[in-house]
Each structure stands twice: as C-alpha cells, then as structure tokens.
C-alpha cells in the first residue's frame, strides 16, 4: 500500500464529506510512537456516516467486500491503494473513543488525522484478543509497547475497565504493576 497517497486522498475526502473517524490499528500505533509493520489501514467511524463513507470510497475505486453490524471492509483493485477496515462506532463506549480522538501529525507533519487515545487502542486490542485468541500474541505485544511508552500517563482506570469488560481484570492489574510506574 502507498500509505502517503492513500492517506492524502482519504483525509481530503473524509474532511470534505464530514465523516467522523479516527485511526486505530497498526498505523495508529506508529503515529503514537509504537511502529509496527502493517499492510492496511484501520479506522473507527461513526455509524451515521457509513453511507457517506461508502459513497466516498466507491468514488476512490474501493469495493466493499465484507460487512457486519460492527465492521465494514474495503479493497481496491490496485494493490497500491490496499485494503481498509472500518469499525462502526455506535455503542456508547466506541462513540466516546471517537469523541476523545486527537488530531496528530503524520507524513512528516504535512498532514494530520484523528487518532484514538492509547487507552482506547489498548481497549480495542483487548477486544480483539477476546474475539480471536489466535491473535493474542501480536495484540499483547502491541499493548505492552503502548504501555511501555505511555506508562504513568495512561488513564489506568479506563484500561482496567476495558479488561474487565472481557473478564481479564487481573491481567490489567498485573500490567499496571509492570508499566504504571514507568518514569
């Protein structure tokens, strides 16, 4: 994927169409200082903007190849444009994540995009572990990178809440002991 080309086109189109979104996933990790190789872009998008999103992506040549109540996936026939995943924000918790997202610089500061907070990325990764235990190695590594970077700055009560949603509260407590006092 040509991330620079794709991001410039997406950001311009999303802003023009007033799509409410935030970067999540591997690219968002990189923006927050925890780079990880990734082959796609993942976004959280307000459910009320899904029709605008679909029209915008179709204009850019993407086609939808999967949709559930929670996620829509798109792919472009030109590999340089890659694939895109959109998590639908419609529950209270995901709408709050979207509202908390902060614009951060990308592409050497020439652009910016809303990126989910580190705590919210951790929450999404905890959900990914709960939904698909086969992904736990990569997801836990991502979580620990974020915790190592943000340690004392994290809202640990929010992190704890995400873990407790999936009956993993003790794991959060242990991680706070490891990373919560990082200088």
The pLDDT of residue 37: 64
Check whether residue 128 and residue 96 sit in a common domain.
Answer: no
pLDDT tens per residue across span 88-105: 999 999 999 999 999 999
Final residue of a domain: which of 81, 99, 116? 116
Q: Which domain holds residue 148?
A: 119-179
Q: What is the Cα–Cα distance from 32 to 47, expressed in whole angstroms? A: 25
The pLDDT of residue 38: 64
Say yes or no to pLDDT of 183 above 50.
Answer: no
pTM: 0.90
Check whether residue 123 and residue 111 sit in a common domain.
Answer: no
The domain that contains 50 carries what CATH number?
Answer: 3.30.460.40
When comparing pLDDT for 161 and 183, which is higher? 161
Final residue of a domain: which of 63, 81, 116? 116
Out of 27-41, 48-62, 130-144, the most confident range is 48-62
Final residue of a domain: which of 116, 135, 160? 116
pLDDT tens per residue across span 112-135: 899 999 999 999 999 988 888 888
Check whether residue 39 and residue 67 sit in a common domain.
Answer: yes
Confidence of residue 157 (pLDDT cuts 50, 70, 90): very high
Q: Could you write out the three-class secondary structure of 3-71?
A: HHHHHHHHHHHHHHHCCCEEEEHHHHHHHCCCCCCCCEEEEEEEHHHHHHHHHHHHHCCCEEEEECCCE
Number of independent structural domains in the chain:
2
């Amino acid at each position: 994927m040509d991330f620079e080309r794709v991001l410039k086109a997406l950001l311009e189109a999303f802003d023009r169409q007033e799509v409410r979104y935030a970067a999540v996933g591997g690219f968002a990790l990189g923006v927050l200082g925890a780079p990880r190789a990734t082959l796609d872009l993942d976004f959280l998008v307000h459910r009320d903007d899904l029709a605008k999103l679909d029209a915008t992506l179709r204009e850019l040549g993407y086609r939808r190849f999967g949709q559930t109540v929670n996620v829509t996936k798109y792919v472009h026939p030109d590999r340089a444009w890659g694939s895109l995943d959109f998590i639908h924000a419609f529950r209270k918790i995901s709408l709050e994540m979207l509202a908390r997202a902060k614009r951060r610089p990308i592409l050497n500061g020439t652009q910016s995009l809303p990126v989910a907070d580190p705590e919210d990325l951790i929450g999404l990764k905890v959900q990914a572990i709960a939904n698909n235990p086969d992904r736990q190695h990569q997801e836990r590594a991502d979580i620990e990178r974020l915790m190592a970077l943000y340690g004392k700055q994290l809202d640990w009560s929010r992190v704890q809440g995400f873990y407790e949603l999936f009956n993993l509260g003790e794991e959060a407590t242990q991680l706070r002991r490891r990373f919560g006092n990082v200088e």
